Amino acid sequence: MSSATTSTPGSATTPGSTTVGGGSGRRAGPLATDLRTVRILWRRETVRFLRNRARLVMGLAAPLLFLFVLGNGIGSASVGLGHYQAFLFPGMLLMVVQGPAVAVGTVVMWDRQSGFLRQMLVAPVRRGAVLAGICLGGATTGALYALPVLALAGPMGLPYHPRLLLVLAEVVLLAFALTALGVAAAVCIRRPETFQIVSGLAMAPAMLLSGALFPVGGLPSWLGAAVLANPLSYGVDALRRTMPEPDTGVPTPAWFHAGPQWWGWTPPVLLELALVVIPSLLLLVLAGRRFARID
């Protein structure tokens, strides 16, 4: 019956007389296969991004509106908040990358719904590599969104300093983390409607309590605790500490850099980044497991 079932994997290289397409091609090692899978999925994401112009415009419009209208409005309403536009800058960067991250999550949701992912599941590739490729694609599109915002550093009162390149690198990292979060949510949630509600409900307070829109130093203790528990707080703070000092001629006020503190200790920038990236990577691995499971 089922005794003699071993077949040499090498036999797959000879599809024999039944080849219609290009044959089974080169056989690469597992790592090379994973990297190839990541590259293919990454390319798919970027192609889709560039093809969808409407999404591109919408993704940029909202943050820029915030930056100019809110930044100018609050900045001119109060003399003491002269640095407000520069203060808002890292928050806006996070906001532009959050858009594509949620969008990629939504795409994964619909891909699952539409069956595109099933097509991936029957391909001889690792499912984790598929997810990693999708997340890298999200990170890249996020970074592309961030570029025009970064270009506006000057009008926001920030000098064009090489440190902005470091900021861009951090943005890529944060975009990857946020996309991973979005994809993990999309894999774990079954219905697209639920996903939309969850992402909407989660993102609004996460942005508000991250120090992106106002300094979080003087908040009541219970809100302060929420800020400390919010991974985005560390992302915003890392960006703000990495970006160049505003060059307005007046000294930067103390509230400007009042980021999250642990019992009086300010975590270093690298730790702050790790606090965003590592939990989302863990979630992604869990999601990958769930995604890979066959019933």
Partner 1 sequence: MPGDDIAVRTEDLSKLYGTREAVVGLGLTVPAGRIFGFLGPNGAGKTTTIGMLCTLLRPTLGDAWVAGAHVVREAALVRRRIGVVFQEQTLDQDLTALESMRLQAELYGLSRPAARAAGTALLGLMGLDDRSDGVVRTLSGGTRRRLEIARALVHGPRVLFLDEPTAGLDPQTRAAVWEHLRLLCREHGLTVFLTTHHLEEAEHCDRIAIIDHGELVTEGSPRELKSVIGADLVTLRTDDDERVAETVRRSFGLSTETGPDGVRLRAPDGAALVPRLCAELTVPVRSVTVDSPTLDDVFLHHTGRTIR
Whether residue 15 contacts residue 23, with contact meaning beta carbons closer than 8 Å, is answered with yes
Can residue 20 be called a binding residue for partner 1 (CB under 8 A)? yes
Can residue 125 be called a binding residue for partner 1 (CB under 8 A)? yes
Can residue 40 be called a binding residue for partner 1 (CB under 8 A)? yes
Q: Which stretch binds partner 1 (CB under 8 A): 64-72, 77-85, 110-118, 145-153?
A: 110-118
The residue count for binding partner 1 (CB under 8 A) is 45
For residue 15, the number of C-alpha atoms closer than 13 Å in the C-beta half-sphere is 10
How many angstroms separate the most distant Cα atoms in the chain?
A: 85
Can residue 58 be called a binding residue for partner 1 (CB under 8 A)? no
Q: Minimal distance in Å, beta carbon 289 to partner 1?
A: 15
Can residue 47 be called a binding residue for partner 1 (CB under 8 A)? yes
Q: Minimal distance in Å, beta carbon 231 to partner 1?
A: 31
Question: Judged by CB, which is closer to partner 1: 77, or 122?
Answer: 122
Residue with tokens 């100019």: 68
Q: Which of 72, 118, 147, 282 binds partner 1 (CB under 8 A)?
A: 118
Q: Minimal distance in Å, beta carbon 105 to partner 1?
A: 16
For residue 205, the number of C-alpha atoms closer than 13 Å in the C-beta half-sphere is 8
Whether residue 280 contacts residue 187, with contact meaning beta carbons closer than 8 Å, is answered with no
Residue with tokens 């090489």: 162
Which helix H or strand E contains 276, and what residues bound it?
A: helix 269-292
CA distance to 40, 41, 121, 174, 184, per residue, from 288 (Å) = 18, 15, 12, 19, 8
CB atoms within 10 A of CB 89: 26
Cross-strand pairs, 265: 262
DSSP 67: I
Question: Judged by CB, which is closer to partner 1: 17, or 78?
Answer: 17
Q: Which of 27, 190, 289, 290 binds partner 1 (CB under 8 A)?
A: 27
Can residue 68 be called a binding residue for partner 1 (CB under 8 A)? no
Q: Which of 15, 192, 253, 279 binds partner 1 (CB under 8 A)?
A: 15
Q: Minimal distance in Å, beta carbon 201 to partner 1?
A: 28
Can residue 57 be called a binding residue for partner 1 (CB under 8 A)? no
CA angle, 259 as apex, 258 and 261 as ends, to 5°? 105
Question: Judged by CB, which is closer to partner 1: 132, or 216?
Answer: 132
Question: Judged by CB, which is closer to partner 1: 45, or 272?
Answer: 45
Question: Judged by CB, which is closer to partner 1: 5, or 78?
Answer: 5
How far apart, in whole angstroms, are the C-alpha atoms of residue 84 and residue 75?
Answer: 5
Whether residue 111 contacts residue 133, with contact meaning beta carbons closer than 8 Å, is answered with no
Q: Which stretch binds partner 1 (CB under 8 A): 47-55, 80-88, 168-176, 244-252?
A: 47-55
Question: Judged by CB, which is closer to partner 1: 110, or 255?
Answer: 110
Judged by phi (left if over 0) then psi (alpha if -120 to 50, else beta), residue 263 lies in left
Can residue 12 be called a binding residue for partner 1 (CB under 8 A)? yes
Q: List contacts with partner 1 (CB under 8 A).
A: 1-2, 4-5, 7, 9, 11-12, 15-28, 33, 36-37, 40, 43-44, 47-48, 51-52, 114-116, 118-125, 294-295
